[in-house]
Amino acid sequence: MVFWSQTERGWAVNLDGTNAALAFTLPRIEIRSSPRGWACACHLLDGTSRLVPLGDPATATAAMRAGIEGSLGALGEQYAAELRTLLGNAFDP
């Protein structure tokens, strides 16, 4: 089961189901807050990363949802079920 973990710089989810606050594993989605708003990076299995456009989410929950939706295409069908489960679950950081 995949889940969001609070990190020093924001929130992250490791798609292998490990705790993203304790370990960095691939693939992974991270969101971070900055003075300019939320930013998201999708770290792929091959070690590359993609910035995910989020728009202008007002909350961490909205940024998480936008990050998942924006990462679906990059991660492909292999992780679609996990990502859709995250989208379907209510999360409240």
Classify residue 63: in a domain, yes or no.
Answer: yes
For residue 50, give the nearest of 67, 33, 62, 38 by alpha carbon: 67
Give the predicted TM-score (pTM) of the model. 0.92
Classify residue 93: in a domain, yes or no.
Answer: no
Classify residue 67: in a domain, yes or no.
Answer: yes
**Cα(71)–Cα(40) distance, rounded to whole angstroms?**
9
In angstroms, the Cα distances linking 29 to 5, 75, 80 are 11, 10, 13
> Can you give the pLDDT of all 93 residues of the chain as single tens digits?
899 999 998 999 999 999 999 999 999 999 999 888 999 999 999 999 999 999 999 999 999 999 999 999 999 899 999 999 888 875 655
Range of the domain at 10: 5-88
